[in-house]
Amino acid sequence: MRKIAVIFSGNAPHSVTFNEPKYKQYINELIYLPKLAETDLSDFDVLYIPSQLNKRMLLANKDKIIAFAEAGGIVCAFGPQPWEWLPNQKWEDRETNFWWWLEKGADSGLRLTNPQHDLFSNYLTLADATWHQHGVFWPVDGADVLVSTVDGGAVLYVDKVSTNGTWIITTLDPDYHFGSYFMPATERFLDGFFPWLANGQL
């Protein structure tokens, strides 16, 4: 099983999500964001970076996170990314429709673009990765887009070309919504994502 370190801010949603026993069993260490700069990451295989982190502190650790990936590590980045810190990042803000599912003939606008990928063939369905959207990425050539919008913007993709490691990047923010006690799909997402991250084919 891969050794997973999770960065957390100490806010209530993070505390709820990452101390939930069914997820905590996969987490080897919770690293408080203000302590990240002084933390040795060499023992970990995966660095999980949730949504809702402090911008200044996150950007201050940009080089450390990229170095972890360059050493072959796996970095998971969640949520909207309106500031530049991901490799080859091309982020596009979009208006969020929180109530799309109330519309007649509702269509989330999401499409599963690689259903054969291990994450979706064995751990998740598209419905598990469907709530609302905050924007999209336009990944570097060679990245594996798993979930996209109808116009091709990436909502979840895997980048193995920008560094020596693996980046799992998504606009989705399940840690925030599960820890805030709303958005049922986010629980299903985390129920599948953590086991895949620990044991699945990356």
Q: Would the pLDDT of 100 be above 80?
A: no
Domain architecture of the chain: domains with CATH: 4-199 (3.40.50.880)
Question: What percent of the chain clears pLDDT 90, i.e. is strictly above it?
Answer: 79
Mean per-residue pLDDT over the chain, rounded: 92
Contact by Cβ (8 Å): 41, 82: no
Predicted confidence (pLDDT) per residue in 41-83, tens digit: 999 999 999 999 999 999 999 999 999 999 999 999 999 888 8
Kindly state the tokens that stand for 156: 């979840």
Report the pLDDT value the prediction gives residue 108, as an integer from 0 to 100. 63
Question: What percent of the chain clears pLDDT 70, i.e. is strictly above it?
Answer: 93
Q: pLDDT band at 141, cuts 50/70/90?
A: very high
Contact by Cβ (8 Å): 58, 82: no
Report the pLDDT value the prediction gives residue 164, as an integer from 0 to 100. 98
Q: pLDDT band at 144, cuts 50/70/90?
A: very high
CA neighbours within 13 Å on the CB side: how many for 120?
A: 20
Q: Kindly state the average pLDDT of the residues 160-181.
A: 94
Q: Would the pLDDT of 199 be above 80?
A: yes
Q: Would the pLDDT of 132 be above 80?
A: no
Q: Would the pLDDT of 162 be above 70?
A: yes
Q: pLDDT band at 146, cuts 50/70/90?
A: very high
Report the pLDDT value the prediction gives residue 169, as an integer from 0 to 100. 97
Alpha helices in the chain (DSSP H): 12-19, 21-24, 55-60, 62-70, 118, 174-179, 184-199
CA nearest to 166, candidates 70, 48, 25, 101: 70
Q: Kindly state the average pLDDT of the residues 113-138.
A: 93
Q: pLDDT band at 30, cuts 50/70/90?
A: very high
